């Protein structure tokens, strides 16, 4: 019998060349075989998920994306899961966040996309482990996705949950479920449909056919139906506002002189454009061409000239409010007490008494409204100095009573944060307002993705949503998520919808917060319990085997010393 060949390490402690060549050969074989197919499936899945987001209406591609991810991760190890989910995250976030490079170059775009993909990677480890250890693994896998969304929604710098899976579904049959289980539940159901389809495909094509094949087919098929059943049930909790009292609320889109980061280089011009549209609205009301509004909404950054400090800006806004004769919710940049500091505010401007109640944006956007670790990030891009000042956060939700109308205000990207929108609804808002400035992102998909988020929020909370944008797309969204009217990009105009004032609270508003924590913790806790139980079983099995050996006829027990017997534990759970 020939002696076995052993690859000895070199004097440096590294594996010898034959060993490295063998490892490279194995990697090459894996990449050209099933391993490579799994990488391709993960990459295709991420891109399919991106294709489900606005302006696309192909909601079903989100399910396809999770199906491909599930097929890639099924029964893999956790290390492979990390890598495959990272690939999935790259092909999803790089195209989704392409709007971030429109005026500041590629580095911020790629850096943000890679950061989001890194935060997606742990989801792959959880899903891969769940597929090997937990029954009905697609449900645990969908919950693991919520773990990832909760992580990305909080870190770093307060999180950036753009790309939440719920926001791929404003045109799909699952949307009504948001009124039942919130946007978190909608995200869970979307992922569940994809992972259940992956499990169903795996059970159908398994060779040789395992004895549990029929059970697996039935179980995964049932899980696949659950999201669509809840989508139908959600129709019963979705608000439509048909019996609610209504008020006419005007939405102004004044437009900007030019798109891009310097949209407000002519700050007075932007203010004048919004004042002009308000004067036009007042003239049309007097002429009987449009109904008189109860209040008027101006967008974020409609005045970047502090109206508290600048008498001219104050006079322009006051004249517009006096002409229309009702309060205006003005989006304004207000200087702070220290140089370089400011506030992104919504100010209620009364036609008689002038500025009154205010809301300060609670979640300023890192890199867009303040620059964290400026000196560090300057090492990678000098574009950090385009953000000169620092916007300070507010402390209370944006609840107003404007002319007797309970309004809930969120500013720009705040619409993507579940808790910020939920806070104003819980504070009594009967209509939601999104003051936003999308001129910074030009003609990209960002404005349509933000509109899709607002459509999901409308269904989730059973409220009309009014988007007022400097440059578009300003939109009136009904409580059922449908679009009533809108103004195209970079087009001045106004909207005067009859808005239902709804007081009812949807189950989605109540359940959304607790459900997020329940789902986010479910898979890590279940896996921890599974691993602990498996280790306990292994120890019990090893102890039983030792006892059986000791009691066998003619056995010899040796204790202590270098010749003591040893037991090798089975590494499999």
Which residues carry out catalysis? 300, 361, 412
How distant is the alpha carbon of residue 502 from its chain centre?
26
C-alpha distance from residue 432 to each of 22, 43, 213, 361, 399 (Å): 62, 37, 49, 15, 9
Say whether the peptide bond before residue 156 is cis (omega within 30 degrees of 0): yes
Q: Considering Cα of 271, then 274, then 278, then 280, what sign does the dihedral take?
A: positive
**What tokens does 458 get?**
């409308």
Cβ-proximal residues to 211 (8 Å cutoff; 6+ apart), any chain? none
**What tokens does 153 get?**
């929604």
Report the C-alpha gap between 350 and 295 in whole angstroms. Answer: 10
Closest of 234, 205, 208, 231 to residue 220, by C-alpha: 205
437 with 414: CB under 8 angstroms? no
Phi, psi dihedral angles at 540 (to 5 degrees): -65, -40
Closest of 186, 191, 207 to residue 70, by C-alpha: 191
DSSP 565: -
Report the C-alpha gap between 377 and 397 in whole angstroms. Answer: 31
Report the C-alpha gap between 193 and 187 in whole angstroms. Answer: 10
104 with 377: CB under 8 angstroms? no
Closest of 143, 135, 165, 134 to residue 519, by C-alpha: 143
Closest of 511, 506, 488, 487 to residue 497, by C-alpha: 487
117 with 160: CB under 8 angstroms? no
**What tokens does 22 get?**
């063998």
Alpha helices for 167-266 (secondary structure H): 177-205, 213-233
- Using only C-alpha atoms, what is the Rg of the chain? 29
242 with 211: CB under 8 angstroms? no
Report the C-alpha gap between 159 and 396 in whole angstroms. Answer: 19
| Three-state secondary structure call for residue 500 | strand
Q: What is the dihedral of CA 457, 462, 463, 467, to 10 degrees?
A: 20
Report the C-alpha gap between 119 and 116 in whole angstroms. Answer: 5
Long-range contacts of 64-67 (CB under 8 A, 24+ apart): 64/194, 65/92, 65/194, 66/145, 66/190, 66/191, 66/193, 66/194, 66/195, 66/197, 66/198, 67/194, 67/195, 67/197, 67/198, 67/201
**What tokens does 481 get?**
């998520």
């Amino acid at each position: 019998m020939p002696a076995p060949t052993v690859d000895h390490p070199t004097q440096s402690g590294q594996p010898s060349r034959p060993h490295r060549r063998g490892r490279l050969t194995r990697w090459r074989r894996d990449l050209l075989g099933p391993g490579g197919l799994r990488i391709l499936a993960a990459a295709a899945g991420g891109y399919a998920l991106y294709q489900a987001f606005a302006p696309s209406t192909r909601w079903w591609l989100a399910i396809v994306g999770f199906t491909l991810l599930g097929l890639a991760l099924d029964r893999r190890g956790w290390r492979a899961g990390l890598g495959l989910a990272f690939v999935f995250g790259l092909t999803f976030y790089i195209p989704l966040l392409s709007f971030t490079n429109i005026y500041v170059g590629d580095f911020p775009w790629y850096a943000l996309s890679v950061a989001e993909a890194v935060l997606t990677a742990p989801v792959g480890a959880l899903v891969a482990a769940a597929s090997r250890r937990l029954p009905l693994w697609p449900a645990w896998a969908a919950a693991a996705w919520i773990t990832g969304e909760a992580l990305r929604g909080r870190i770093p710098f307060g999180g950036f949950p753009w790309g939440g899976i719920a926001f791929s579904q404003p045109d799909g049959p699952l949307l009504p479920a948001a009124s039942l289980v919130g946007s978190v539940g909608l995200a869970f159901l979307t992922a569940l449909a994809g992972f259940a389809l992956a499990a169903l495909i795996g059970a159908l094509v398994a060779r040789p056919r395992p004895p549990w094949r029929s059970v697996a087919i039935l179980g995964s098929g049932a899980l696949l139906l659950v999201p669509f059943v809840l989508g139908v049930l959600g129709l019963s909790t979705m608000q439509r506002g048909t019996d609610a009292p209504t008020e006419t609320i005007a939405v102004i889109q004044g437009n900007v002189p030019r798109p891009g980061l310097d949209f407000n280089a002519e700050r007075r011009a932007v203010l004048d454009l919004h004042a002009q549209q308000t004067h036009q609205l007042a003239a049309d009301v007097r002429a009987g061409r449009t109904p008189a509004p109860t209040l008027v909404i101006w967008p974020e950054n409609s005045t970047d000239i502090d109206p508290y400090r600048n008498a001219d800006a104050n006079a322009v806004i006051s004249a517009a409010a006096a002409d229309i004769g009702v309060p205006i919710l003005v989006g304004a940049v207000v200087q702070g007490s220290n140089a370089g500091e400011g506030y992104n505010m919504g100010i209620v401007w009364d036609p008689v008494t002038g500025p009154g109640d205010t809301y300060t944006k609670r979640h300023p956007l890192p890199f867009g409204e303040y620059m964290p670790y400026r000196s560090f990030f300057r090492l990678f891009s000098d574009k950090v100095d385009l953000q000169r000042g620092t916007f300070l956060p507010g402390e209370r939700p944006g609840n107003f009573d404007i002319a007797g109308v309970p309004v809930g205000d969120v500013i720009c990207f705040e619409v993507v944060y579940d808790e910020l929108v939920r806070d104003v609804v819980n504070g009594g808002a009967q209509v939601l307002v999104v003051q936003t400035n999308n001129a910074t992102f030009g003609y990209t998909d960002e404005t349509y993705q933000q509109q899709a988020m607002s459509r999901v929020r409308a269904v989730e909370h059973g409220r009309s949503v009014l988007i007022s944008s400097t440059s578009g797309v300003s939109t009136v969204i009904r409580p059922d998520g449908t679009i009533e009217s809108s103004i195209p990009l970079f087009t001045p105009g106004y909207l005067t919808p009859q808005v239902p004032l709804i007081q009812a609270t949807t189950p989605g508003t109540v359940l959304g917060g607790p459900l997020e924590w329940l789902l986010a913790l479910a898979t890590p806790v279940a896996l921890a319990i599974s691993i602990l139980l498996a280790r306990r079983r292994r120890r019990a099995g090893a102890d039983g085997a030792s006892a059986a050996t000791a009691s066998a006829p003619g056995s010899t027990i040796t204790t202590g010393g270098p010749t003591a017997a040893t037991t090798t534990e089975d590494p499999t759970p």
